Amino acid sequence: MKNRLRNFCTLLMVTFSLLAGAQNPVIQTKFTADPAPMVYKDTVYLYTTHDEDDAGPGMGKFLMKDWLLYTSTDMVNWTDRGVVASLKSFSWGRQENGAWAHQCIERNGKFYMYCTVQGSGIGVLVADSPYGPFKDPIGKKLVGGEDIWSTIDPSVFIDDDGEAYLYWGNPGLWYVKLNKDMISYSGEIVKVPEVGKVKGQATADLYHYQEGPWAYKRNGHYYMAYASTCCPEGIGYAMSNSPTGPWEYQGYIMKPDKRSSGNHPGIIDYKGKSYVFGFNFRLNFMQTAAHHERRSVCIEEFKYNPDGTIPELPWWSETGAKQVGSLNPFKLVEAETINWAEGLSTKKADLSSQMYVTNVSNGDFIKVKGVDFAKGAKKFEANVAPLAGGSIEIRIDDKAGSLLGTLQVKGTGSDKNWKILSCHIKSVKGKHDVYLVFKGGNDNLFNFDWWQFKKAVY
């Protein structure tokens, strides 16, 4: 994404800078889609699919090879955890393209990720940690019969009685009961006949199910959200008294909008608030007028109605979700923890290595939202591997906001030479947005692993 961003014209840079106050889309360093958020302990694990930068122009020309993970504890600053699985994780499927929608769920301390290998079936991966490594425990597809092209978009749900269900499908919806091991199933695969049924009518196809099911339960109600109507796709949902239906269509969570041909919901409750995730094409259309399948995950907060129904929301806002709490700058913060970033990219060498920020050039920046300096900070510290070298300006509340200090990073030309560097900063207290603005030439200035502030002593 870096080189394309760098080639933007001035107008586009101005537009982008205006967006620096935005929180949607939530990831700017890669194209992400098909959000599958999972709340585990105090953290939101946002698993996403990944549209490659070089997906060619044209509808349906997806180029998708791996699955990504981002985490957050405040819904606005997201830490890039990199690729957690790829088509290579499945020996039995297509290898070059087709890493479509997926979902991860925890059961008894293990993490099960159900993945579409488009054109080959749905597989399952298992890990001991939500970060992976994820491995294929069965060495074959979990589901995918004759109608292989319909076998996409798994959604997994475990009911209070311990029964687990796997749902999937385009343009129909199917489900099967998973066994307790979560890697096999029992009984018949059932096609759900009535998911598009409209309230009070026997049948209807107006707001019909398309793909991307998202099954969950809340306050005794079962929900099936999905990409509805085509095309463009909106997000619709149905409710039921049982995980297997009958489902009654309730309406749109978000109406279709020509700004996004497709859609894929993910819905969670986190720290007492409710959120719907989906995607738009905003970053793609900021780069080019041509439609490439290069999507970007967005989030909106909403409140359930007292009867459990979901209000219809407007199209993805620019402002997105509000921050829950604040970010503690006195603990080590991964450099790839980002509210908004421009120009740079993130990288990890392989599935097990550390993630870092790279391709840093003059004028690139990272914004981190709602950083709480409490009674004060006096020093900034960063772990960097200097290449050409440059500096990090530490500013608050705006990219051109008050300058707290500048960390000089002397070039060494080697990206292996990690160093912890520090600089004193002007006194700062309370909660601010922090902008780390990179200065130097247009070469790779340095790689950047983590930062933190040191408390002022009074």
User: What span, in angstroms and rounded, lies between the C-alpha atoms of 38 and 383?
Assistant: 30
Would you count residue 262 as binding ligand FUB (CB under 6 A)?
yes
Greatest C-alpha distance within the chain: 72
105-124 footprint of ligand FUB as x/- string (CB under 6 A): -----------x--------
How many residues in the shown chain lie near ligand FUB by CB under 6 A?
A: 14
Tell the smallest beta-carbon distance from residue 236 to ligand FUB (Å).
Answer: 14
Tell the smallest beta-carbon distance from residue 117 to ligand FUB (Å).
Answer: 11
Closer by beta carbon to ligand FUB, 154 or else 343: 154
DSSP annotation of 93 reads S
Measured in whole angstroms, the distance separating CA 194 from the mean position of its chain's CA atoms is: 31
User: What span, in angstroms and rounded, lies between the C-alpha atoms of 454 and 427?
Assistant: 11
Residues 449 and 356 sit within 8 Å (Cβ to Cβ): yes
User: What span, in angstroms and rounded, lies between the C-alpha atoms of 178 and 185?
Assistant: 4
Q: Closest by alpha carbon to 326, among 402, 380, 271, 274? A: 271
Tell the smallest beta-carbon distance from residue 173 to ligand FUB (Å).
Answer: 12
CA within 13 Å, CB half, 418: 11
Closer by beta carbon to ligand FUB, 292 or else 439: 292
User: What span, in angstroms and rounded, lies between the C-alpha atoms of 458 and 416?
Assistant: 38
Determine what percent of the chain falls in helix, strand and coil, rounding each to the nearest 5.
5, 50, 45
For residue 148, give the amino acid letter: I
Would you count residue 277 as binding ligand FUB (CB under 6 A)?
no
The reply to whether 96 belongs to the active site is no
Q: Candidates 74, 136, 211, 342: give the one binding ligand FUB (CB under 6 A).
A: 211
Token pair 């589901």 is found at: 143
Would you count residue 74 as binding ligand FUB (CB under 6 A)?
no
Closer by beta carbon to ligand FUB, 266 or else 329: 266
379-408 footprint of ligand FUB as x/- string (CB under 6 A): ------------------------------
Q: Candidates 45, 47, 62, 281: give the one binding ligand FUB (CB under 6 A).
A: 62
Would you count residue 212 as binding ligand FUB (CB under 6 A)?
yes
Would you count residue 49 as binding ligand FUB (CB under 6 A)?
yes
For residue 455, give the amino acid letter: K
- Residue 202, sorted as left (phi over 0), alpha (psi -120 to 50) or beta, turns out to be alpha
Closer by beta carbon to ligand FUB, 171 or else 246: 171
Would you count residue 284 as binding ligand FUB (CB under 6 A)?
no
Tell the smallest beta-carbon distance from residue 100 to ligand FUB (Å).
Answer: 3
Torsion angle in degrees (nearest 10) through CA of 34, 317, 300, 293: 0
The reply to whether 34 belongs to the active site is yes
* Binding positions for ligand FUB, 354-383, rule CB under 6 A: none
Would you count residue 80 as binding ligand FUB (CB under 6 A)?
no
Closer by beta carbon to ligand FUB, 212 or else 390: 212
- Residue 130, sorted as left (phi over 0), alpha (psi -120 to 50) or beta, turns out to be alpha
Would you count residue 152 as binding ligand FUB (CB under 6 A)?
yes
Residues 86 and 105 sit within 8 Å (Cβ to Cβ): no
Tell the smallest beta-carbon distance from residue 413 to ligand FUB (Å).
Answer: 40
Closer by beta carbon to ligand FUB, 38 or else 360: 38
Would you count residue 52 as binding ligand FUB (CB under 6 A)?
no
User: What span, in angstroms and rounded, lies between the C-alpha atoms of 170 and 17?
Assistant: 38
User: What span, in angstroms and rounded, lies between the C-alpha atoms of 331 and 328?
Assistant: 6
User: What span, in angstroms and rounded, lies between the C-alpha atoms of 424 and 415?
Assistant: 25
Q: Candidates 81, 141, 264, 282: give the one binding ligand FUB (CB under 6 A).
A: 264
User: What span, in angstroms and rounded, lies between the C-alpha atoms of 65 and 95?
Assistant: 8
Would you count residue 153 as binding ligand FUB (CB under 6 A)?
yes
For 89, list phi and psi in degrees, rounded to 5. -70, -20
Would you count residue 101 as binding ligand FUB (CB under 6 A)?
yes
DSSP annotation of 181 reads T
Closer by beta carbon to ligand FUB, 35 or else 389: 35
Q: Candidates 1, 19, 27, 33: give the one binding ligand FUB (CB under 6 A).
A: 33
Of the residues 51, 211, 293, 342, only one is catalytic, namely: 211
Catalytic residues: 34, 211
Q: Which residues bind ligand FUB (CB under 6 A)?
A: 33-34, 49, 62, 100-101, 116, 152-153, 211-212, 227, 262, 264
